[in-house]
A = this chain, B = another copy of it.
Amino acid sequence: MISVAQARARIVAAMRPTAPEMVGLAEAWGRVAAAGHAARLTQPPADVSAMDGFCLRAADGALGARLSIVGSAPAGHPWSGTVGPGQAVRIFTGSVIPAGADGILIVEDSAEEDEVLEVREAVVAGRHIRRAGQDFAAGDVLVASGTRIGARAVGLLAAGNHPWARVHRRPRVALLATGDEIALPGEPIPAGGIVSSNAHALAALVRAGGGEPVVLPVAADNEAALLAAVEGLSCDLLVTTGGASVGTHDLVQPVLAGRGLRTDFWKIAMRPGKPLMFGVLDGIPMIGLPGNPVSALVCAVLFLLPALSRLQGLPGEGPVESEAVLGADLLANDQRADHLRARLVPGADGVPVATAFSRQDSGMLRLLVEADALILRAPHAPPASAGERVRIIRLDAIGL
């Protein structure tokens, strides 16, 4: 058995980022930049006003001075003349400052009558002026290669005059649930069988992680069905659920080994979810998740999401960990890293309090849905008492 960190490193190392594609800026949100995007213009393009008011020569702007209003420069309609001594031009937020002017009198500090302006507050040269290039200059990198594009970055790409973005293609992740006992929701359920939840839960997670899920038909527990399921695959990653152990009916490994699967590892020192397989089939990386829905989802958080990140050109780091205070004692742990389903409540000092559910049976999907976090327990961790700090993975912020 290998550790969680070793398994993740080996999985991530096998992922090759997808090729770039050009998408319209409106479709760029959530995608990962496949190149640096440099500003195609300077912003602001010239010195502009940050306020509504008047521009003038600052030397003319003493308290009580009177100037003649010689023009108006609404945003988008620059005043083409030069502001001379004793003159003022009406301007607005975003207006280009005309030649000659170096001071702004904001409208609240002014009075005007018959195109004569009175200064009610002394003007300071340069104040309320946004300098050309204050936000960015043409050529500045606005979005670096390998960063996920959020709503703010979409705005910045727009401001830098990019109608298109060069991003990594969404990784296609094929999801193959196996088992004689499972049926998709609404379909006839075999005797003693259950409804399959893994493929669609994982498809949602793949979507949340920026991928494009492809749900394959459920494969029965026999060689022909498994072989048929992997014919003609077109994906960047194959994820199977169930059949990944070594029981009599765990056919995934032996059948696909005969079909060319090179297995890297298939056992991780963790709970829930020991029988996790990783290999390569026809050049396609393949993760074999446990069939148990709780195990499958926890393993997906630990291994599938990092793989998906890497496929998109991100580093493929593990889930974000944070700190919590234990709300109740924990027993010593055995040799397998544990991931205890837990509730969080706000703590007094800004650090949440995490209390593990008393039942940790990996058959209880409903408890996983009710969990706010996983408490991380290292192999051989000693008993821990209420009040001690623990590391957690929050489940609420990752589309789970």
Contact = CB atoms under 8 A, between A and B. Distances in A.
B249 A400 contact: no
A366 B39 CA distance: 11
B249 A75 contact: yes
A249 B191 CA distance: 72
Contacts of A201: 151-152, 154-155, 158
A267 to B, nearest CB: 14
Given A92-B248, A154-B201, A365-B159, A179 B52 contact: no
B361 A130 contact: yes
A345 interface: no
Interface string A61-87: 000000000000011111000000000
Contacts of A155: 197-198, 200-201, 204, 293, 297, 365, 369
Interface stretch (A13-21, A93-101, A232-240, A279-287): A93-101
Given A192-B78, A195-B161, A350-B351, A134 B364 contact: yes
B292 A93 contact: yes
B368 A192 contact: no
Contacts of A164: 186
Interface residues of A, number: 100
Contacts of A76: 179-182, 190-193, 221
B44 A194 contact: yes
Contacts of A26: 200, 203-204, 213, 215
Contacts of A351: 349-351
Given A25-B200, A180-B77, A157 B185 contact: yes
Contacts of A228: none
A207 interface: yes
Contacts of A291: 93-94
B350 A323 contact: yes
A110 interface: no
Q: At the interface, is chain A mostly helix, strand, loop or mixed? A: loop
Contacts of A78: 191-192
Interface in A320-343: 322-324
A162 to B, nearest CB: 6
Given A52-B247, A74-B249, A293 B159 contact: yes
A381 interface: no
B30 A399 contact: yes
Given A185-B163, A249-B75, A150 B204 contact: yes
A56 interface: no
Contact of A205 (B46, B74, B95, B151): B151
Given A135-B366, A366-B136, A195 B93 contact: no
A33 interface: no
Contacts of A312: none
Contacts of A189: 41, 161
A124 interface: no
A160 B192 contact: no
A125 interface: no
Interface of A: 25-26, 28-30, 41, 43-46, 50, 52, 74-78, 90, 92-96, 107, 130, 134-136, 140, 142, 150-164, 179-182, 184-186, 189-198, 200-205, 207-208, 213, 215, 221, 245, 247-249, 291-293, 297, 322-324, 349-351, 361, 363-366, 368-369, 389, 395-397, 399-400
